[in-house]
Amino acid sequence: MNEPKVSGLCGYGLEVPELAVAQRFYQTFGLQVRSSGSALLLACPGRGDAEIVVTTAREKRLHHVSFFIAPGTESAFADKLRRAGLDVAESAPPGGARDGLWFRDPWGTWINLNPAPASAVQVVELPASNLGGRTERVDVNLWQKLDKQRPPMRIGHLLIFTHEWEKAEAFFTGVLGLRTTDRAKGKVAFMAAGEGVIDHHCFGLINGTHRGFQHASFQVASFDDLGYGAWRMRAAGYRDAFGPGRHAIASNLFHYTRDPWGSWVEYYADMDKISERWHCRDWESLPYTWGPEWSPEFWSGEMNANLEPRS
Ligand SMILES: [Fe+2]
C-alpha cells in the first residue's frame, strides 16, 4: 500500500490572551463565528470545518495545524506516525476542539489529521471586464455592481517559522507526505498537498530563530475583493498592512494585515495551480514581481521577535 499522505490544509489553532479581540479581528476579516465560549470556532461562510480554533492563554501562540487526510487512512497514518516515534492520540488535547488523530511534531506544535474530504470551492461569477483590450462591459457602471462585502472563500495556506529548517522540511514531507514545490534557499520552503491539479502551496516553512506563526492566508474571488477586504480592515483600525502586490513564487495577488498579536493574515487570489508534472526549483534569492517595498522585517529581523516560547 502507498504511504498515507495529508490531502490538504484544514486550518489551525491559535492561543491568544483575549477571545473578544480575536473575534472582532477575524469577523472584520470576513470569517463567521461557528461557536464561542471557551473556544472560538471560525470559518469562511459555507465551509464544513472550523478553519481557526481560538482559545485563551497568557501569550499568543500557534496551538496546532490541522490537515485533511482521506477517510479510512487513519490507522495507516497512526502506524506510520508511531513508527516515526510519535505519540498518537485519538482525542483532542485541551484547546484542540477537532476530531481525528493528534500528535505533537518534534518542536512541540500539535498536529491534527482530520479524516474528511475538503469541500470544493464554490465558483463565483465575476463581472465582465474591459481588461486586455476587450470590450465586454458596455453601458454598465461596474462600481455599482461590485459586491463590496463578499467574504473570503476558504483558508488556502499557512506559513510558520522554524529554527530547524532542513529538519522541519524533512519531517513535513517525509512523515506527513507534503511535497515541496518551490524553495528559496535558506529562507522558505513552500509545500503542496493532494492529488491532481492543486494549489501551488498549502503550507510553508520559513527559516527563523524561533518557532512561530507567520501568516495564514484566505482565498478571495477577485482583485476587487482583495481591495475591499483591505479597505474594511483599515476602516476598522487594523492599519498595519503590506500590499497589495503580486508574489513571484506562486504568482498570487496578495494583501496582508497584521493581526493584534504580531502575525499576519493575508487575502490572496489567482494563485498558480500545479499538477504532478510540476518540478520544485531552488531559488538563490526570494524573487519578487511588484508591490510595496520588500521590508526586511517581513521575512526576518523583527518578524522573529514574534517568538512563541515552547514548554
Ligand atoms: Fe501567503
pLDDT range class, residue 309, cuts 50, 70, 90: low
Q: What is the percent of the chain with per-residue pLDDT over 90, rounded to a whole number?
A: 83
- The span from the CA of 7 to the CA of 77, in Å, is 12
Residues in the chain: 311
CA 215 to ligand 1 center in whole angstroms: 7
Q: Ligand 1 center to residue 268 CA distance, Å?
A: 7
Closest of 204, 201, 219 to residue 270, by C-alpha: 219
Tell how far the Cα of 267 is from the centroid of ligand 1, in angstroms. 8
CA of 35 to the centre of ligand 1 (A): 26
Cα 126 to middle of ligand 1, angstroms: 23
Domain ranges of the chain: 6-117+152-305
pLDDT digits (tens, 9 = 90+) for 57-69: 999 999 999 999 9
| The overall pTM is greater than 0.85 | yes
User: Is the Cβ–Cβ distance between 242 and 264 less than 8 Å?
Assistant: yes
Model pLDDT, residue 296 = 58
6-117+152-305: CATH architecture:
Roll (3.10)
| Beta strand residue intervals within 92-142, DSSP E | 101-104, 110-115
DSSP string, 157-218: EEEEEESSHHHHHHHHHHTT--EEEEEETTTEEEEE-SSSSEES-SEEEEE-SS-EEEEEEE
- Residue 40's nearest CA partner among 99, 100, 97 is 97
Query: Would you state the cell numbers that stand for residue 231, as one nine-digit string?
Result: 479597505
Q: Give the span between the Cα atoms of 300 and 311, in whole angstroms.
A: 23
pLDDT digits (tens, 9 = 90+) for 241-289: 999 999 999 999 999 999 999 889 999 999 999 999 999 999 998 888 9
- Three-state DSSP class for residue 267: strand
Q: Helices marked H in the chain — which ranges? A: 19-29, 74-83, 142-145, 165-174, 223-235, 296-299
